[in-house]
Chains A and B, each alone.
Chain A
Amino acid sequence: MLSLVPLIQRTCLALLALLYGAPPSPALAAAHDPIPSGDWVVWQVVTGAVLILSLVLLGVGLVLERAGRRRAEVSLGERLRFETLLSEQVATFSRVAEADVDRAIQRALRRIADFLAVDWGNLTEYSDDSRTARVTHWWVAEGVGPQPSAIGFEEIPWVVTRLRRGELVRFSKLEELPESEASVDRQTYRRLGIKSQVAVPLTVEGVVVGALAFSTVGTERAWRDEFVQRLHLLGEVFANTLSRRRSETEGQRLRQDLAHVGRVSTMGELTASLAHELNQPLTAILSNAQAAQRILDSDPADLGEIREILGDIVEDDKRAGEVIHRLRGFLKKGTLELSTLDIGELVSQVARLVSSDAIIRNVAIRLELAPGLPPICGDRVQLQQVVLNLLMNGLDAMRESGGGERSLVLRTFSAGPASVVVAVEDSGVGIEGADLDHVFHAFYTTKPDGLGMGLAIARSIVEAHGGQLDARNNPQGGATFSFTLPAIEKEP
């Protein structure tokens, strides 16, 4: 079209010159020479008609050219704005904090929807069972009615199939959807009032997890290729953001799980490493003592050797003592991470931790927590270990008890204004009189597979917190282990 314009202009100028007697350019003269002069009138009529036609064509050409140029300019401006909008989104989402993800997506949807002048923009997430697309984020134009919060795959089977294959879906009017294959989709969109839509899949690690869609309600509209293609980029940004958040949430849960396991196993690890450190001197002491016995039985007994052995035994015993001493020190200073704690919350957490264990052992754990207890100051993990140890001991104690109700009562109460008490009361076999004096000693155990360290460590922890751990038998049977902790006194 544009290339026609100069041609038309030149033709017109030449005709004007001919018409008004101006000397024709040589080129034109050559072209018109063969026309006979007798047909002058006809020639004039023809040239007049051609002139008029040419002027019209000239005008139309100019108008078309202007219009074409303007449209190209507008489109360029729009595209520039759209690119700017997209790059803003990319920048925003690359640094958005986990807590702000939802708001940022919401904002982005609104801006894009505004720009595209659509009525409804939404982000959907496909359910794990691949049956529904749940709308997780959306934006609806004013005056547009509420839109569904989820759409079943069976309601838009054709569209979902294409999206899940990673393809883009675009229609300017419902009639563009294939009549037979997408008849269900058509019905659904008709019901929802959706006239046109563009949707791109959200892909995380090669799997389509949802879709980003913009729709118009009430009016049909065409979607420009360049915008539609760029929506893929936005889809990628959203998908990345959501997957990042999902993995962060999972990571957090994992950390919590690990913390739980850690709490349960720290005590075990401590006793294991302790057991090893103590085992060496204990092994040496035992072997030395038994060697000495044998030497004494022989004749003549080598007293020099026995003296040497006894010296070694003393050394190894000191070494064992140092291990215990180090443990005490480890618990007493340096490693306590103090914070203000709600004792009721702390014991509830531990109770939850052992609840499944209790169910398996057919024991009911009852919490009797006094309300309004003052807070305490202590190391959360260590105190949890103490409570955990007492609960596990209680459960173990009931292993041997026969029929009757197996219950474990976990109680908190106040013992004066400056101290709180945590008590674990079991309905087990109780503690035999002789054992009662030794239960807190290291290596004292009544369990076949116990090391006898749990209560010794528990007591060290409680004492490091300025409290006291006690054990007594209940009048009705079973035993109660309780510890006091100094409370943070309330300001008068």
Chain B
Amino acid sequence: MSAPPTALVFVVDDDASVRKSLARLVKAAGYEAETFASVRDFLARRPFDGPCCLVLDVRMPGLTGLDLQEALRAAGQRLSIVFITGYRDVPVSVKAMKGGAVDFLTKPVDEGTLLGAIQQAVARTLADRRQQARVTEIRNRITTLTPREAAVFALVVTGMLNKQIGSELGIAEKTVKVHRARVMEKMRAGSLAELVRLAGEGSVIAAG
């Protein structure tokens, strides 16, 4: 198993013996496992920051697996999901996959398929969170810019020359140069190319 041995797998299924057996298998494969009998139970748990993923039954009494997927998305939680279901329901599986599920597996699930999906899901959770952290970091840097610097930043990344930016904002080219240097410094960008990339990652180009 190349998966990080410390990853935690949450198993949410209303059937006790399915829950137990899946947790056992996951543990035997080297993961940690936590089981929940309902979506509500899972939502009551404190969000986990470490590497993890969710193995989620689709049909359950009360809130369904799709409801949980929606709730996590609404809360901005990055937690990749492997759905398991007793029904081959195409519309539901399409919905789940469109909602970002890693896989949609039909019970009974073979260990190879399940563990492969779990490994992928854990990796995706980590990647998503890294991405999320980076976006947050970039946005934090942007908030340190003064309004004038932010305006210069927005125009610089569109490829405008200092002179053009100056006439656009009605300030001297020299002043633009000063602002621009501050922007590079505050955004911790070594080059114009990097600054443009940061703007893209932070999705701020249109926001200027």
Contact = CB atoms under 8 A, between A and B. Distances in A.
A281 B17 contact: yes
A287 B18 contact: yes
Contacts of B22: 283, 287
Interface in B64-108: 84, 86-87, 107-108
B17 A316 contact: yes
A85 interface: no
B18 A284 contact: yes
B20 A295 contact: no
B65 to A, nearest CB: 15
Given A286-B109, A286-B110, A291 B25 contact: yes
Given A280-B86, A286-B108, A312 B28 contact: no
B111 interface: yes
Contact of B107 (A272, A279, A288, A312): A279
B25 A312 contact: no
Contacts of A309: 24
A309 B21 CA distance: 8
B109 A294 contact: no
B194 interface: no
Contacts of A292: 28
A312 B15 CA distance: 13
B21 A287 contact: yes
Nearest to A294: B28
B25 A276 contact: no
B17 A280 contact: yes
Contacts of B24: 287-288, 291, 305, 309
A288 B20 CA distance: 8
Contact of A283 (B27, B29, B87, B109): B109
Interface string B13-49: 0010110111011011100000000000000000000
Contacts of B110: 286, 290
Nearest to B114: A287
A315 interface: yes
A288 to B, nearest CB: 4
A57 interface: no
Given A275-B86, A279-B86, A279-B108, A284 B21 contact: yes
Q: Is the interface of B mostly helix, strand, loop or mixed?
A: helix
Contacts of B21: 283-288, 291, 312, 316
Q: Is the interface of A mostly helix, strand, loop or mixed?
A: helix
Interface in A287-344: 287-288, 290-292, 294-295, 298, 305, 309, 312, 315-316, 319
A344 to B, nearest CB: 38
B135 to A, nearest CB: 37
Contacts of B27: 291
Contacts of B84: 283
A282 interface: yes
Interface residues of A, number: 25
B28 A282 contact: no
Contacts, number: 75
Contacts of B111: 286-287, 290-291, 294
B168 to A, nearest CB: 63
Nearest to A276: B86
A311 to B, nearest CB: 11
B29 A294 contact: yes
B20 A312 contact: yes
A276 B87 contact: yes
A309 B24 CA distance: 9
A473 B29 CA distance: 47
A309 B25 CA distance: 10
A404 B29 CA distance: 53
A316 B24 CA distance: 15
Nearest to A281: B17
A35 B107 CA distance: 129
Nearest to A295: B28
A284 B17 contact: yes
Query: Looking at B28, B29, B84, which has the most chain A CB atoms within 10 Å of its CB?
Result: B28
A283 B28 contact: no
A99 B17 CA distance: 59
A470 to B, nearest CB: 32
Contact of B28 (A276, A281, A291, A319): A291
A276 B88 CA distance: 10
A280 B87 contact: no
Contact of B25 (A279, A294, A316): A294
B58 to A, nearest CB: 11
Contact of A272 (B15, B25, B87, B109): B87
B15 A284 contact: yes
A271 to B, nearest CB: 12
A283 B58 CA distance: 14
Nearest to A275: B86
Interface string B104-139: 000111110010000000000000000000000000
Nearest to B27: A291
Interface in A232-285: 272, 275-276, 279-285
Contacts of A305: 24
B64 to A, nearest CB: 14
B2 to A, nearest CB: 16
22 contacts: A272-B87, A275-B87, A279-B108, A282-B107, A283-B15, A283-B84, A283-B108, A284-B21, A287-B21, A287-B24, A287-B109, A287-B111, A291-B21, A291-B25, A291-B28, A292-B28, A294-B25, A294-B29, A309-B24, A316-B17, A316-B21, A319-B17
**Which 5 A-B pairs give the minimum distances between C-beta atoms?**
A294-B28, A287-B21, A283-B108, A291-B25, A279-B86
Interface of B: 15, 17-18, 20-22, 24-25, 27-29, 84, 86-87, 107-111, 114
Given A275-B86, A291-B27, 11 more contacts: A279-B107, A280-B15, A282-B108, A285-B21, A286-B108, A287-B22, A290-B28, A291-B24, A291-B25, A292-B28, A298-B28
